[in-house]
Structure 1
Amino acid sequence: MEAVCRRATIEDVDTLYLLIEGYARKGIMLPRSRETLSRQIDTFVVAEVEQEIVGCGSLCRLGSELVEIRSLGMSDGYKGLGIGSKLVDRLIEEAKSQRIPKVMALTYEARFFQKNGFEIVDKDIFPEKVWTDCVNCPKQECCDEIAVLKILN
């Protein structure tokens, strides 16, 4: 089973919406509307197996030196196969191409990110994230996500 990562296209919006919504219902990912996905489609990459989208992730610029990996998810049955790491690699390549030296994520799966070269850090070092997204999050005062960071060479 070979996964291929590619940039998302506007035709992928409905599939992305359903994939992200599944995580959002479990309270482990922020929901994204179809309209938001359409506007931000150029920030997304998808993983396909036999022309079926089985995973996604996006890169959100938080400043001149920092981007966030967000909306990283896999369809049931495709976790643990290395596809998530391929998506992270693709997003890191995109950050490098934009000359952005730091990539962060907020996650419940810190071990996954550590396997991909990230280190656990204090969330407070990301004021860009706090003022961009956290200010609107229902978990703002009791955030249980773990911050991870990778410095690119």
Structure 2
Amino acid sequence: MTVTCRKATEQDIETLYDIIQGYAEQGIMLPRTRETLAEQIDTFVVAVIDDQFVGCGSLTRLGQDLVEIRSLGVTEGHKGLGIGNIIVDFLVEEARQQGIPKVMALTYAVNFFERNGFSVVQKEIFPEKVWRDCIHCKKQDCCDEIAVLKMVNPIGVAASSN
């Protein structure tokens, strides 16, 4: 089984919508309209096995040095195969290529993100996220998602030795 990630295209919108809607109906992902997906298609990647769509995720810029992994999902029947890890690795590398040092996510799958090198942090350290998205969320006053963060060493920036 070879999983590959690629940038999403307009032809992927319906499949993206279906997978995100499935997670949204379970209350574990924010829904996205087809129109929003079309507007933000350049932020999405899809994972495929033999041209079959098996997962997705997006990388949304929140500030000059911060991006968020969003809409990370794997299709039923393909969960537990490491596809989510492959998508996260692809998105983190995308942030690195763009020179963005901080990658965050709000999640219920804390253990998954910790296995992928993220650390739990306080949501309040991301005012970019709070003012851009959280103020519109129905869970704003009772958010139960956990914030995670991974520091990325952008291309051309030497790793610091502490």
Partner Cα distance (2:39, 2:147) in 1: 26
Normalising by the residue count of structure 1, what TM-score does the alignment of the two structures yield? 0.98
Partner Cα distance (2:43, 2:26) in 1: 24
**Partner residue of 1:39?**
39
**Partner residue of 1:49?**
49
Partner Cα distance (2:71, 2:110) in 1: 15
Bigger Cα Rg: 2
Q: Does 1:144 align with 2:144?
A: yes
**Partner residue of 1:126?**
126
**Aligned ranges 1:104-119 → 2 under 5 Å:** 104-119=104-119
Structure 2 letter corresponding to 1:138: K
CA-based RMSD of the aligned residues comes to 0.6
Structure 2 letter corresponding to 1:11: Q
Cα deviation digits, residues 31-90 of structure 1 (max 9, x gap): 111111011111000000121111000001000010000000010111111110100011
**Partner residue of 1:85?**
85
> Percent identity, aligned pairs only?
65
**Partner residue of 1:102?**
102
Structure 1: gaps of 5 or more residues = none
**Partner residue of 1:59?**
59
**Partner residue of 2:20?**
20
Runs of 4+ in 1 over 4 A off after TM superposition: none
User: 1:130 offset after TM fit, Å?
Assistant: 0.4
Structure 2: gaps of 5 or more residues = 154-162
Partner Cα distance (2:78, 2:109) in 1: 16
Normalising by the residue count of structure 2, what TM-score does the alignment of the two structures yield? 0.93
